[in-house]
Amino acid sequence: MKPTILIIEDNEQNMYMLSYLLLKNNFNILKAYNGVDGLKLAHENHPEIILIDIQLPDMDGHEICAKLRHNGLPKETVIIAVTSYAMGGDKERAIEAGANGYIEKPINPDTFVNQMKSFCNTK
């Protein structure tokens, strides 16, 4: 069975690249361009992995992580913060909010899919 990944990302180019890489490598994809839609899709579909951009228009990724972790999302769901924020403490803040991992933008297409596969294998 193909793992499902929910991508919560407001940037069209980033969404395209992430979706393309994942679809090409046999993942199911759900797309949300804002936090409200992302929360709804997560609760309706229970994806194995959720990729969350930290900087979104309606609520930030930290808030989304916290809401997902405290509102009935299965505990085994892997949440990955994907962000261009690379300042000291940003990774720790994402983990504190409920993320399991942290990937910096720009995404490296050569390593990204293997990172997703490793997250699926560690579940």
Tell which residue, 85, 109, 114, 113, has the closest CA to residue 99: 85
Architecture of domain 4-121: 3-Layer(aba) Sandwich (3.40)
DSSP 33: S
Residue 13 φ then ψ, to 5°: -65, -40
Task: Please state the rounded mean pLDDT for residues 111-117.
Answer: 90
Q: So where are the chain's domains?
A: 4-121
As a residue count, the chain comes to: 123
Q: What is the pTM of this model?
A: 0.93
- The conformation of residue 105, written as its DSSP 8-state character, comes to S
Q: Quick one: pLDDT at residue 89?
A: 81
- pLDDT tens digits, one per residue of 40-98: 999 999 999 999 999 898 999 999 999 999 888 898 999 999 988 667 788 889 999 99
Task: Give the C-alpha separation, 47 to 53, whole Å.
Answer: 16
Mean pLDDT of the chain: 91
Extract the tokens encoding 52: 């969350």
